[in-house]
Amino acid sequence: MQPGVHNKPTVDFRQIRMVIAKVTSSCNLRCRYCCADAIPVTQPGATMTMETHQRAATMLIGGTESDELQWIFHGGEPMLLPIPWYEEAIEFCITAAEANPRIRRLTIGMQSNLTRLTPEYLQLVKKYRIQIGTSLDGPPRLSDVYRQAGKRVEETIELLMREDAPPGVIAQINKNTIAHMDEVVDYFDKKGFAVMFNATCPTGRGMNVENLTGEELYNAKRKLLERADQSANLRILGPDLLRQLFFFHTGQRDMAERNCHGYNCGAGVTLIGVDPNGDVWPCGRSTDADMSKLGNVNDPGSLRSYESTLRSFHEKDLWYLRCFGCAAKLICLFGCTAFDKDSISTREIECLATRLLHQYFWSHPELVERLVARFQTHMEKTAAEVREKKHAPPFLPMHTGHHPCSSAATAMVLSAQARLHPIQPDGTEPARIPQTIE
């Protein structure tokens, strides 16, 4: 298939900036809280064909008018697919991006459990500068309560850091880790991993996982802030807390912004999910709810109801009215539209934790000021390093499927929080793809 050749759908993909391509529903692990309820490799599930991938890439890369696009391979476990599949798939994405004059930067990412990172896969990661996201909830003995293979994941993260391909790490805060939060924070502080903490949401295989209370989630975030204030490692804050610090510090935010932290999220507008058989979903988290299916890339005619289905997906209940008058909306990340439909209690927990955090910021202005000032200094230094190396910072991977996303997968976690934003410090235009495939 040639990029740009397909039956043009009557759908507006112009704002798409992130694609979550779930290339397989199979996984070699069986984590207790997996939102996707991925199929074990002993019972192989669907795997995306190259034809479906090419149709998705042609439709979405060809249809966007965004200057930057993130294409993230997700699963299941994406490293179950053979390396030649990715070589062909990525080259097709590059060609499709070259054919779209609007796109100035294409970023390739992969959300993986890292247990299948062979030397050959590492070469693929380095060749295409694939930005890796993974999950680890803390020291392996704690992480393995809900997850698996913690020691292997830890060792592979350290390997990627040595290879100058640092992954972003998502750590779940749950009833297990909350009881050892000091140990968890100390672990990530000393390891220096770029980490984002999320509250585990009861969904998928983890539907029976016990929720945190709002107070527990708030106390976990407070501990992260207080540790970061005493540590040289700002990475333990993660992008979500940093956003909230900046929102509070500046007193400003764009309430119209369509992303995972916007008043109205960007699902189906700025980001989109495609599952192994080509079904299109508002995001990478909504692929289990038939009512949210937007169509299929293999049948452009099926996308006719895209807009009406998306409107239904984004409809808010009456509870949403209270957000308008809430002082904490300045720092609120507004939950996850997909997960809120599965778990109303999760929404209430996040709401209480956010209101308590807002009160904490008001009562600790010096801490807010110190952390923001340190981070601004850090970013100025990072900008100089990026300019010197002449490469763009890595992508913000979607969340693995737990709430809330930073976009998802998706999340978001930064591939390397030391290089947080996709900036061009000198204001120059990035080189054309594929010379700077990121």
Query: Does residue 412 surpass a pLDDT of 90?
Result: no
Query: Does residue 254 surpass a pLDDT of 60?
Result: yes
Report if residue 78 sits inside a domain. Answer: yes
Query: Which residue matches tokens 């997909």?
Result: 338
CB 296 within 8 A of CB 305: no
Query: Does residue 405 surpass a pLDDT of 70?
Result: no
CATH code, domain carrying 45: 3.20.20.70
**SS3 call for 150:** helix
End-to-end CA separation in angstroms for the chain: 24
User: Where are the strands (E) in 29-111, listed by range?
Assistant: 39-40, 68-74, 105-111
Q: Model's pTM, two decimal places?
A: 0.83
**What six digits make up the tokens of 319?**
């509870």
Report if residue 118 sits inside a domain. Answer: yes
Report if residue 9 sits inside a domain. Answer: no
Report if residue 424 sits inside a domain. Answer: no
CB 338 within 8 A of CB 285: yes
Report if residue 11 sits inside a domain. Answer: no
Cα angle value 396/123/82 (rounded, 5°): 85
CB 397 within 8 A of CB 168: yes
Is pLDDT larger for residue 43 or for residue 350?
Answer: 350
Sheet holding 295-296, edge to edge: 194-199, 168-173, 131-135, 105-111, 68-74, 18-22, 271-274, 279-281, 295-296
Phi and psi (nearest 5°) for 184?
-65, -45
Domain hosting 103: range is 18-418
Query: pLDDT tens digit string along 168-224?
Result: 999 999 888 999 999 999 999 999 888 999 888 766 666 677 788 999 999 999 999
Burial class (CB in 10 A: 0-12, 13-18, 19+), 431: middle
Report if residue 302 sits inside a domain. Answer: yes
Percent of the chain with pLDDT over 90: 46
pLDDT at 152: 96
Burial class (CB in 10 A: 0-12, 13-18, 19+), 414: buried
Mean pLDDT over 227-233 rounds to 90
Give me the count of residues in the chain. 438
Domain count, the chain: 1
CB 408 within 8 A of CB 287: no
Report if residue 8 sits inside a domain. Answer: no
pLDDT at 290: 62
Burial 306-315 (b: 16+ CB within 10 A, else e): beebbeebee
Report if residue 437 sits inside a domain. Answer: no
